[in-house]
Structure 1
C-alpha cells in the first residue's frame, strides 16, 4: 500500500541493492550511475548507512559493504547452523595451535572470511569476519601474507553451494606438520558431524 512506503528507506535499500554484483567497491560516480540518484543525495544516504556499518568508505574514497549485512545474514537458518557447527571447532583449533583459525568461502572472484577464531599470541594473523580479497590464480583462496603462511583444507560441498575451506594462518616459522595434522583432524571431525546430521 502506498501509505506504507517510506521513500528515504526505499532509497537507502536501493543503494544497498547496487552492491549485489561481483564488483567489491564503488566510486560515488559508479553508485550514482547504478542508482540514478544525484551524488548529493547519495552522500546523505551513504552517510546514514555508514553510521550503522551497512557500508564503509575506504581511504581512496570508494564504498563497499560494511559488516552489518554479514552479521544479519548469520541469523538466516542455514548460516546460523553453519556458525553453530563450525565456530566451536575454530575456537578449539586456535587454542590448540596458537594460530588464527578461519572458515573461508568463495564468492565468484572473491574470497570471504566467514568465521574466525584468533589466538592469544601477540604475533598473529589479524583476520576478521567479512574480510575479502581476490581469488588468486588457480583458484587459490590464500591472501598475500608477507612473512606468513596459510594452511588450507577444502570442505565437501553439495551442488550449488559455495566452495569453503578451513584455514590456519600465522607466521611461517610456526606453521609446521603438527599444525597441518591439527587442521586435517578438524576437517575430519567437521565432516563426521555433517554426515551424522544428514542421516538423522
Structure 2
C-alpha cells in the first residue's frame, strides 16, 4: 500500500471533524444575535482559538458568518437569506400564515404554529397582534420543552396514554420547575394530558413563563390522523387572563375551520 493511500482514511476523518466543528460554531453563532468574540466562542466550545478561527473563516467565505468592526462575529446575511427563503417556500407556511394573521387580528394576541421536535416544541410561524404595547419574546425557530407548553401538551395528549408512556418519553423525573405552576411529576403530567385529551386543547397556565398563558389546538395539515402541529393563542395574563383565553377556544376553532377547512381540526 502506498504512503498516499495509507493516509487517506486519516484525511477523511480530519475532514469530518472539521465539518463538525464548523457546524458547532455556526450553531453557537445562532445563539448570539448581538454577536460573540473569538475568545468567547473558543471558551464556550472548549476548542483552541486557531481551530475556531479556521471554522469562522470557512463560514465567512460562504457568507454564513460576518465579523463586525469590533471583532465580534454574527450570522451572515446569506445564512438568513437561505433560512427565510426555505421557510417561506414551505407549503405549511403558506397555509398557516394567513390563519395566524387572522387570529392575531381577531383576538389582539400573539398566534403561533409549532411542531414537536424530540422532547421540545419548535415554533414554525408566529404573528404578533397589529396593536399592543406588550409583545412576546418567542421567535420562529425557537424551542421550549414540550411538557411546560400548551402546544406540547396538545400534541402529546394523543400519544402518551398511561404512566409508563409518560415516564418513557420524558425520562428522568422530576423535570425542571421553570415556574411555580410547572408540572414536574409523571402523575401530574399524565393527569393534565388526560384533561387535554378530553377537552381537545392544551393549556399553558404560566408554566413556561410567569405572566404568559396560552391555549393550543392540534391541527392536521397533511390529512393524517396524527396532528402535524398545533396552533396557539398566547397572551400576557394582565391583559387576557387564562379564563378569557379558554372561553375563546370555540371562536379559535371556528377561525381555524373557516381558514383551513374543517379537516384541519381532524373532522371529516
- TM-score, normalised on structure 1? 0.61
CA RMSD of aligned residues (A): 4.0
Aligned equivalents of 1:140, 1:134: Cα separation in 2: 10
Q: For structure 2, list consecutive stretches of 5 or more residues without a partner in the other structure.
A: 1-17, 32-40, 67-73, 155-203
Shift of 1:153: 0.3
CA contact (8 A) 1:101 1:167 kept: yes
Matches within 5 A, 1:1-200: 15-16=22-23, 27-29=44-46, 39-46=49-56, 48=60, 49-51=64-66, 53=75, 70-76=83-89, 79=90, 81-119=91-129, 120-136=131-147, 139-140=152-153, 144-156=208-220, 163-173=228-238, 174-175=240-241, 176=244, 177-192=246-261
CA contact (8 A) 1:105 1:113 kept: yes
Shift of 1:74: 1.7
Aligned equivalents of 1:39, 1:124: Cα separation in 2: 38
2:138 counterpart SS class: coil
Aligned equivalents of 1:128, 1:39: Cα separation in 2: 31
Q: Cα deviations across residues 115-172 of structure 1 (Å, max 9, x unaligned)?
A: 111012112323221111222269537571211101100112656x884110100122
Distance 1:146 1:67, change over 3 A: farther
- TM-score, normalised on structure 2? 0.48
Structure with bigger gyration radius: 2
1:152 counterpart SS class: strand
Q: Cα deviations across residues 15-44 of structure 1 (Å, max 9, x unaligned)?
A: 238989xxx9x9413xx6xxxxx6523234
Which is helix-richer, 1 or 2? 2
